[in-house]
């Protein structure tokens, strides 16, 4: 992080996406005394600060795998320390965290997926393709493999599959062929070199559309390094299971892979599981969830103008209407 970044107030460095809409979706479940809300992706604490200030009787549990984010969010949320518990954990560890805290059911869950503002702004984390940095991309720098490890050690076929599946990159084969040639000369360790290799590998037509030509490759590497989709696949059903009846979940996604997975989990919970043809659907087959959004809601043009990182956001919400049987 640059000196200027460090000196800026935390609130100025983080503009929470679709904040008012998230609060509105969760509000009916958090107005009751003793309500507990889990911010599964604490980051710099912008959403959590708003939750704690808007719902003065609510208790917050905040999770993050990034130790620096936990430290900074702790500073921001210090005025609410008696109602906030911050935990170093990945969000698929939610059941274990709740069990450890003796909180089997909660009234609200919020996910703000993807990479945080802090991680993008800290040059030495390697998330941003627009600035040269070590190729790290680990959200939790205390464990796991880095993006450089992936680029330098994965077999070419595995890299192609990775870029296609997680980056939806149509030019995956060209990019991987260039990466394999270059890593044979010298292992990758900096983001600028990777961006240059990608740019040189792509045909002119591919470089004229879709923004920075390295965007999809960086997304794919980040998802692989942090196991984001497999974690999310476990985390959203676990969060639904943790909701008390009447509890609500809100999920902000930033690319189609995340949004598709969230949509599938919430839609399945909102569907009847009864065999076809039953004249009356018994209670045990009734939906567990009621969808609160029609499809995925998008940020307003005004918000995007104020905060360009809101542009790809997709928000989905649901309410728990029945206990599992």
Domain that holds residue 201: 129-226
Same domain, yes or no: 112 and 12: yes
Give a yes or no: residue 123 inside a domain.
no
DSSP β-ladder status, 314-320 and 289-291: antiparallel
Q: What is the CATH number of the domain that holds 78?
A: 3.40.50.150
Rounded CA-CA distance 312/252 in Å is 10
Q: Which helix (H) or strand (E) holds 7?
A: helix 3-7
Q: Give yes or no: residues 232 and 221 share one domain.
A: no
Q: Residue 14 annotated as binding?
A: no
User: In which element (H, E) is residue 291 found?
Assistant: strand 289-291
| CB proximity list for 266: less than 8 A, separation 6 or greater | 236, 240, 249, 251, 289, 291, 316, 318
Per-residue pLDDT, 283? 75
Indicate whether 218 and 289 sit together in one domain.
no
In this structure, are 244 and 220 located in the same domain?
Answer: no
Task: Let me know whether 111 and 133 are in one domain.
Answer: no
* Distance from chain centroid for Cα 190: 24
270 in a domain, yes or no? yes
Residues 183 and 289 in one domain: no
pLDDT the model gives residue 76: 96
Q: What is the pTM of this model?
A: 0.86
Neighbours of 273 (CB within 10 A): 12
12 marked ligand binding residue: no
Residue 325 lies in a domain: no
Q: What is the pLDDT of residue 54?
A: 97
Q: Is 45 annotated as a binding residue?
A: yes
Indicate if 29 and 156 belong to the same structural domain.
no
Rg (CA), the chain: 21
CA–CA gap between residue 71 and residue 281 (Å, rounded): 50
47 is in an annotated binding site: yes
259 is in an annotated binding site: no
Residue 112 labeled ligand binder: yes
Contacts of 95 (CB under 8 A, 6+ apart): 238, 241, 242
Integer Cα distance of 232 and 94 in angstroms: 11
Check whether residue 245 and residue 98 sit in a common domain.
Answer: yes
CATH number of the domain to which 163 belongs = 1.10.150.170
Q: Which of 204, 226, 248 is the last residue of a domain?
A: 226
If asked whether residues 19 and 110 sit together in one domain, one would say: yes
Where b means 16+ CB within 10 Å and e means fewer, 168-197 reads ebebbbbbbebbeebbeeeebbebeebbeb
Of 75, 80, 87, 85, the C-alpha closest to 55 is 80
What is 251-290 written as a DSSP string? Answer: EEE-SHHHHHHHHHHHHHHTS--PPTT-SS--GGGS-SEE
pLDDT on residue 15: 81
Contacts with 210 (C-beta within 8 Å, 6 or more apart), sequence order: 216
Residue 124 placed within a domain: no
Chosen domain end from 177, 199, 226: 226
* Pair 262, 273 in one domain: yes
- Shared domain for 242 and 314, answered yes or no, is yes
Q: How many domains does the chain have?
A: 2
88 found inside a domain: yes
183: in domain: yes
**Residues 188, 135 contacting (CB under 8 angstroms):** yes
- pLDDT tens across the length of the chain (325 residues): 443 444 445 444 558 999 999 999 999 999 988 899 999 999 999 999 999 999 999 999 999 998 989 999 999 999 999 999 999 999 999 999 999 999 999 999 999 997 655 455 455 555 566 678 899 889 887 788 999 999 999 999 999 999 999 999 999 999 999 999 999 999 999 999 999 999 999 887 766 666 788 889 999 999 999 999 999 999 999 999 999 999 999 999 999 999 999 999 999 999 987 777 777 777 777 899 999 999 999 999 999 999 988 999 999 999 999 987 6
Q: Tell which of 160, 193, 226 closes a domain.
A: 226
Q: Are residues 234 and 295 in the same domain?
A: yes
CB within 8 Å of 103: residues ≥ 6 apart:
36, 61
């Amino acid at each position: 992080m640059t000196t200027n970044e460090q000196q800026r107030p935390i609130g100025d460095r983080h503009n929470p996406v679709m904040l008012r809409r998230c609060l509105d979706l969760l509000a009916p479940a958090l107005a009751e005394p003793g309500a507990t809300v889990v911010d599964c992706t604490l980051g710099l604490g912008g959403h959590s600060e708003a939750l704690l200030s808007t719902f003065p009787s609510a208790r917050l549990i905040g999770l993050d795998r990034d130790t620096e984010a936990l430290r900074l969010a702790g500073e921001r949320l210090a005025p609410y320390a008696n109602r906030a518990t911050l935990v170093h954990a990945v969000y698929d560890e939610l059941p274990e965290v709740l069990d450890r805290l003796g909180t089997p059911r909660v009234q609200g869950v919020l996910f703000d997926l993807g990479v945080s503002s802090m991680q993008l702004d800290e040059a030495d984390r390697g998330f941003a393709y627009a600035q040269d940095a070590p190729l790290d991309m680990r959200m939790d720098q205390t464990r796991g493999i880095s993006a450089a490890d992936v680029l330098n050690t994965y077999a070419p076929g595995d890299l192609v599959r990775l870029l296609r599946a997680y980056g939806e990159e149509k030019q995956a084969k060209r990019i991987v062929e260039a990466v394999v040639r270059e890593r044979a000369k010298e292992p990758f360790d900096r983001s600028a070199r990777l961006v240059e290799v990608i740019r040189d590998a792509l045909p002119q037509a591919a470089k004229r559309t879709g923004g920075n030509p390295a965007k999809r490759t960086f997304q794919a590497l980040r998802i692989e390094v942090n196991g984001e989709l497999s974690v999310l696949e476990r985390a959203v059903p676990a969060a639904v299971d943790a909701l008390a009846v009447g509890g609500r979940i809100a999920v902000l996604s930033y690319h189609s892979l995340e949004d598709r997975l969230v949509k599938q989990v919430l839609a399945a919970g909102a569907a009847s599981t009864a065999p076809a043809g039953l004249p009356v659907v018994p209670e045990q087959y009734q939906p567990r969830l009621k969808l609160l959004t029609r499809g995925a809601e998008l940020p307003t043009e005004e918000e995007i103008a104020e905060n360009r990182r809101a542009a790809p956001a997709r928000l989905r919400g649901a309410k728990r209407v029945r206990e599992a049987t």
